[in-house]
Amino acid sequence: MTVTQAHCGNGATPQFDAELAPDWLMVLGHQSQLAGDNQAMAHLAEAYPDAVVTGCTTGNFLLDSQLRDEGVGATAIQLSDGYVDSYSIDTSDDPARDGRMIGEQIRMDGDPSGLLVFYDLSFPQPERFIRALRQAVGPGVSLSGAVASDRFTFDQTAVYDRGEERSLIVVAIFEEELSLVSSTTAGIEQSGCEYTITKSVGNVIHEIDGRPALDVFNDHLGDDFFRLPLAATHYPIWLHSEDGENSVVRCANKYGFARKSLTLGGDIPEAPCRITLSTYVDPKQLLHTGEVSALELANLSTRPQELNLYFGCAMRHGSMGDPLSEIEYQQAVRRLQPGTPNMGFFGNGQICHFDTPYRAEVHNLNVAITSLQV
């Protein structure tokens, strides 16, 4: 497996050697650079017609050991003995059905080493898609990925498949000797006030303890309520399973002031659902999250790391700022195998395993790292 990376400034397209023949080309950058006037996605898809060329909008992105805030970054992957394919859709009126259909198609095409899912915020009920996809491909197939971002405006997110804008893409890697290993860490201790969601639809909370959800959130945040949306990263929401054995962290990223509702970055179990509204979390307390995730990955790794995909949280990045986010990333890089190329970005959600390696979920406020290993 060979990995080659390239970066260019705004208004340009990353350049590789003419002899390069990648199986997969992953492109990261702001929407204005990937599409818009620049058309970097279209140029790369035309330049490499035999490759799976996919892209994802970002605010800042990570390429090798650096945090980039402008231009376009591209990572080219050439497999030793295998191939990559992509499956994408525009939108969905039945995410579970579409996840099942794409999963069945992938199984008909072969036995994938792993899947990577990328989608933008317009895709409805993504976790239903992910759960159905996971069930269709069966146990033993690693599934990870991230949600497109755009530097906190939430209105210019997009993903691209072979140069075309889509709402969701699945990248399937078929390489017998390759394995995808993932780890995820929130770095946030569960502490705060317990409540019960009494009315919700999809990922929208309408009532908490019988009261309008936004009123409860307002009371909990106090003066910080007027610092939304970034203040939400200081007050994460823990969703608890019915048996109380597992919890997943969520972040409120949209607010319905007319209906007094909260929209979370992932599905909510059917009401009633127990939650914990966290006490204030200082961003400096999160600095070691990337390092912890990298150490967990090292414990899970049994082969050399050929490429590491680092998916952080855009909202948390906005709260921490560039300097602290870069420190967190550099601490993680030092725990990864030396000399391994890295790429990634701060997304509006991270897709990684929950309590078992093959139970993928959408997380918020986490650092998730997926390693391609041979």
Distance CA 310, CA 224 (A): 30
Residue at a domain's end among 217, 247, 280: 280
Say if residue 295 is in the same domain as residue 219. Answer: no
Sign of the Cα torsion 321, 299, 190, 202 reads positive
Point out the domain boundary residue: 238, 261, 280: 280
State mean pLDDT over 273-302: 86
> Does residue 332 share a domain with residue 254?
no
Cα–Cα distance, 44 to 14 (Å, whole number) = 8
Tokens representing 342 are 């890295």
358 band by pLDDT with thresholds 50, 70 and 90: very low
Residues 213 and 325 occupy one common structural domain: no
Q: Are residues 114 and 150 in the same domain?
A: yes
- Residues 169, 26, single domain; the answer is yes
Pair 145, 205 in one domain: no
Q: Do 267 and 328 share a domain, yes or no?
A: no
Q: Are residues 202 and 80 in the same domain?
A: no
159, 244: one domain = no
Contact in structure between 297 and 183 (CB atoms under 8 Å): yes
Task: Average the pLDDT over 32-46 and give the result.
Answer: 85
147 and 15 share one domain: yes
Provide the domain count of the chain: 2
CATH label of the domain that carries residue 274: 2.40.30
pLDDT of residue 152: 60
Give per-residue pLDDT as tens, 187-240.
777 788 999 999 998 888 999 999 999 999 999 999 988 888 778 878 888 888
Query: Domain check: are 128 and 271 in the same one?
Result: no
Which of 280, 309, 344 corresponds to the end of one domain?
280
pLDDT category at 301 given cuts 50, 70, 90 is: confident
205 is in which domain, residue-wise?
Answer: 192-280
> Are 157 and 275 within one domain?
no
Task: Say if CB 286 and CB 320 are below 8 A apart.
Answer: yes
Report if pTM > 0.85. yes
